[in-house]
Structure 1
């Protein structure tokens, strides 16, 4: 497989930047959850550990997908889109729970990153166009 020496198009660069930012943010949430697991009195330690593991796995997945897309690995686009679409129900439930100030931007972020990943320039850069 040859690596394209052309600079990455702007939509792809922004998508990678946003995925990396999401990974860092979720990593910080995971670190806070680890701290809480170690210091707080848990009513259900199994659930607490599973939620923490889910946050750690999500942060690692976002980071890995961002790096893969930065290297123009076409196979990373679909999983990245799936993770971004997961922000829609998360944001919706935040809005329903009174956290609209956080839920609406999360939904907008998910839609924006999907748009960047589906942009024609990104599709060309990933080698997914036949013409």
Structure 2
């Protein structure tokens, strides 16, 4: 640029800090519940791995696919929880989709006689979705 840009004077420069507002309670609880879901699904994944290794007769391909799906779910839930804790707005939609996926899972559990587990899963999915679309969460993630 040959001297066309003026040189900044040297000297003491003060650091600029941004005081961001604290994470709202709704977002904090959504992150906690997503992480709790990841831990619970992680326990299921551990059980699936143990079952894959100790089963006497199995369809190995199907068993490994179900196990891989569970492990991927753990990673997705944990990562989305972390991204939301860092207020990444792009993580909200995938988190909502995963929560809404609990509705058909819970419904089929109820139909299969596991209502004691299916109904709480449906309530959990709707509850976390509600937390993720609440006004306080919208403001924290930059949605106006």
What is the TM-score normalised by the length of structure 2?
A: 0.86
For structure 2, which runs of at least 5 residues remain unmatched after alignment?
A: 1-16
Correspondence 1:79 to 2:94: yes
Correspondence 1:90 to 2:105: yes
Could you give the per-residue CA deviations for residues 49-79 of structure 1, whole angstroms, max 9, x where no partner exists? 0000000000100000000000000000000
Q: Which has the larger radius of gyration?
A: 2
Q: Hey, which bits of structure 1, 4+ residues long, moved more than 3 A?
A: none
Distance change >3 Å, CA 88–CA 79, structure 1 → 2? same
Residue aligned with 2:87, SS:
coil
State the partner residue of 2:137. 122
State the partner residue of 1:69. 84
Distance change >3 Å, CA 3–CA 50, structure 1 → 2? farther
Aligned residues: 128
Q: CA deviation at 1:6?
A: 1.2
- Aligned Cα RMSD in Å? 1.3
For structure 1, which runs of at least 5 residues remain unmatched after alignment?
A: none
What is the TM-score normalised by the length of structure 1?
A: 0.95
Q: CA deviation at 1:4?
A: 6.3
Distance change >3 Å, CA 4–CA 29, structure 1 → 2? farther
State the partner residue of 2:6. none
Q: CA deviation at 1:3?
A: 7.2
Asked if the contact 1:23/1:59 (under 8 Å) is kept, the reply is yes
In proportion to residue count, which structure has more helix?
A: 1
